C-alpha cells in the first residue's frame, strides 16, 4: 500500500499521496489541497517545496553528493569534456564517439554571431556591467532568430535553437571581455575545441597567434562542468517559471541570467575576491580577519566558506582545488590577493573552529582564485558562471516544456488592508 499523508483541517481530514524519487526522496503531493480544502501551504523562499519532478540532477547536501543523470560529478569532471557533459544533460545519456563528434561539429559550425551584434555592443557604454550585456544579448537573439518564437516547430528546428545558443555563448562572453578591454573582436576558429576556442577568443589578439595551454584548458573545462547544473536553484527556477508561460528559450535563459546576477546567487565568487581585496587594503593580516569571523558579535563573515546546500563539504571544491593548485604553480603568479587566499584556505582546513562548523572552502572560493589567476576581471566572474550553467538551464527548460507542465502560479497569504470604500478627494 502506498504511503499517504493526512491533513486535519477543522473537522475534516484530507489525505494526500506521497511521491518517492529514485534516491528515496519523499514529497507530499498537495496539488489538490486548495481545491479540496481552500487552504494553501506557506513556505517563504520555497525551502520545503518541490515545484517539479526532474530526472536531470541529484543533490544530497548531507552526504556531499552531486550527480548529473546518475553520474557522479567527480567522474565527469575528471574524465569528460564540457560538451560531453552538455550532451548528457540534454539527452539523458553519454554520447557515443560518433554522436559526440556530430554534436561538436554542429556547435563549431554555429559559433559565429550575426555581424550586426557588434553594433549592439558598440552602443553599450564603456562602464556597462558584463551581466547586463549578456542578459541583453541573449534576449535579443530572439530578434535575430525569430523562428524561436513559434511554439509549434519541428524537433529539428527546436534542436537548432539549442545548438545556436550553446555555440554562440562562448563567442558572446569573449566579445563582452573584449569590449571591456577595448580590444577588437577575435573570431572563433573551426579547428579548435569548445574550451580552446573560448580561451583563444578571450585572451588572443588579432595581432598574434594564441597558444593554447593544456593546464588552463583542463581547469576551464572542469569549472564549466562543475557549474553545469545544480538542481532547482534560484536561476534554474526562474528559467522554468518564465518558460512555463511558453516564452522562448532565449528569453527564458535571459531570465536565468537576471536571477544569477544577484549577489546572493551567482555573485558569490565575486564576493570572495572583493573580501580578499578588503583584507589586502587593511594590511593583509589574515589572522585578524579570521578572528573577526570567529567573533559572534562581529558581522563579518568569510566569503567562499561553507555552503547552504552542502552541510559537510562541497564535492565540487575538492575537484577544483587541485586545478587551482596547478594553475598557481604553472603560472608562478606573485599576487598578494592569492597569497591571502592560500592563508585563509590553510586556516579553514586546519583550524578546529572551521572544521567543527563544516566551514570548508567551497567551489566559489576556488573558482574566484582561478579566474583571478587567468586574468579575468572580477565583473566577469558571474558571466563565466552563466557560461557554465547554460546546458543545465537549457536541459531544465527542455524537460519542463517536453512534459507540457502548466504555467507557474505561486499563491500567497494576503496581509494588506481589508475591504474599504473609496474616499472622495475633498474628504481626504
Q: Which residues are catalytic?
A: 307, 364
- Separation of alpha carbons 100 and 6, rounded Å: 49
Say if strands 57-60 and 26-28 run parallel, antiparallel, or are unpaired: unpaired
Please report, to the nearest 10 degrees, the dihedral formed by the alpha carbons of residues 137, 140, 144, 148 taken in order: 120
- Separation of alpha carbons 222 and 339, rounded Å: 23
Q: Give whole-number Cα distances, 241 to 87, 236, 237, 407, in Å.
A: 23, 9, 6, 7
- Separation of alpha carbons 2 and 184, rounded Å: 63
Could you tell me the three cell numbers for 199? 580561451
Packing angle of the helix pair 194-203, 82-91 (nearest 10 deg): 120
Do the beta carbons of residue 269 and residue 385 sit within 8 Å? yes
Task: Report which of 17, 25, 14 is spatially closest to residue 50, judged by C-alpha positions.
Answer: 25
| DSSP element (H, E) containing 5 | strand 4-9
37 - beta bridge partners? none
Contacts by residues 243-248 (CB-CB < 8 Å, ≥ 24 positions apart): 243/397, 243/400, 243/401, 244/400, 244/405, 244/406, 244/407, 244/408, 245/407, 245/408, 246/151, 246/407, 248/142, 248/148, 248/149, 248/161
Degrees (nearest 5) of the Cα angle 316, 348, 345? 65
Say if strands 12-20 and 4-9 run parallel, antiparallel, or are unpaired: antiparallel
- DSSP per position, 114-136: PTTHHHHHHHS-TT--HHHHHHH
Do the beta carbons of residue 209 and residue 166 sit within 8 Å? no
- Separation of alpha carbons 404 and 383, rounded Å: 30
- Go through 361-392 and write b for each residue having 16 or more CB atoms within 10 A of its CB, e for each that does not: bbbbbbbbbbbbbbebebbbbbbbbbbbbbbb
- Separation of alpha carbons 225 and 351, rounded Å: 30
Say if strands 12-20 and 26-28 run parallel, antiparallel, or are unpaired: antiparallel
Amino acid at each position: 500500500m502506498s504511503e499517504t499523508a493526512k491533513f486535519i483541517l477543522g473537522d475534516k481530514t484530507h489525505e494526500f499521496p506521497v511521491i518517492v524519487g529514485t534516491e528515496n526522496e519523499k514529497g507530499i503531493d498537495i496539488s489538490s489541497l486548495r481545491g479540496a480544502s481552500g487552504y494553501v501551504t506557506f513556505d517563504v523562499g520555497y525551502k520545503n517545496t518541490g515545484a517539479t519532478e526532474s530526472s536531470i540532477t541529484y543533490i544530497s547536501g548531507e552526504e556531499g553528493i552531486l550527480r548529473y543523470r546518475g553520474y557522479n560529478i567527480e567522474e565527469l569532471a575528471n574524465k569528460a569534456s564540457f560538451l560531453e557533459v552538455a550532451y548528457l544533460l540534454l539527452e539523458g545519456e553519454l554520447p557515443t564517439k560518433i554522436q559526440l563528434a556530430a554534436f561538436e561539429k554542429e556547435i563549431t559550425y554555429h559559433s559565429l554571431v550575426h555581424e550586426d551584434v557588434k553594433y549592439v555592443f558598440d552602443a553599450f557604454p564603456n562602464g556597462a556591467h558584463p551581466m547586463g550585456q549578456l542578459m541583453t544579448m541573449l534576449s535579443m537573439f530572439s530578434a535575430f532568430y525569430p523562428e524561436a518564437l513559434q511554439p509549434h516547430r519541428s524537433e529539428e528546428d527546436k534542436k537548432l535553437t539549442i545548438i545556436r545558443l550553446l555555440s554562440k555563448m562562448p563567442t558572446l562572453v569573449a566579445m563582452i571581455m573584449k569590449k571591456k578591454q577595448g580590444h577588437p573582436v577575435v573570431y572563433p576558429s573551426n579547428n579548435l575545441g569548445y574550451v580552446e576556442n573560448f580561451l583563444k577568443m578571450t585572451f588572443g589578439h588579432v595581432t598574434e597567434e594564441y597558444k593554447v595551454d593544456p593546464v588552463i584548458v583542463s581547469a576551464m573545462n572542469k569549472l564549466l562542468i562543475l557549474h553545469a547544473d545544480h538542481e532547482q536553484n534560484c536561476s534554474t527556477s526562474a528559467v522554468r517559471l518564465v518558460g512555463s508561460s511558453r516564452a522562448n528559450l532565449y528569453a527564458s535563459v535571459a531570465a536565468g541570467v537576471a536571477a544569477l546576477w544577484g549577489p546572493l546567487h551567482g555573485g558569490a565568487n565575486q564576493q570572495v575576491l572583493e573580501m580578499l581585496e578588503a583584507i589586502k587594503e587593511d594590511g593583509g593580516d589574515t589572522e585578524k580577519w579570521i578572528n573577526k569571523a570567529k567573533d559572534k558579535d562581529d558581522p563579518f563573515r568569510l566569503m567562499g566558506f561553507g555552503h547552504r546546500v552542502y552541510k559537510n563539504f562541497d564535492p565540487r571544491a575538492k575537484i577544483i582545488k587541485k586545478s587551482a593548485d596547478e594553475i598557481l604553480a604553472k603560472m608562478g603568479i606573485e599576487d598578494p590577493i592569492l597569497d591571502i587566499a592560500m592563508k585563509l584556505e590553510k586556516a579553514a582546513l586546519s583550524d578546529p573552529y572551521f572544521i567543527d562548523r563544516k566551514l570548508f572552502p567551497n567551489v566559489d572560493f576556488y573558482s574566484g582564485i582561478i579566474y583571478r589567476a587567468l586574468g579575468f576581471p572580477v565583473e566577469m566572474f558571474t558571466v563565466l558562471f552563466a557560461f557554465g550553467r547554460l546546458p543545465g538551464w537549457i536541459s531544465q527548460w527542455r524537460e519542463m516544456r517536453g512534459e507540457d507542465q502548466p504555467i507557474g502560479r505561486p499563491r500567497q497569504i494576503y496581509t494588506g488592508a481589508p475591504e474599504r470604500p473609496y474616499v472622495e478627494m475633498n474628504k481626504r
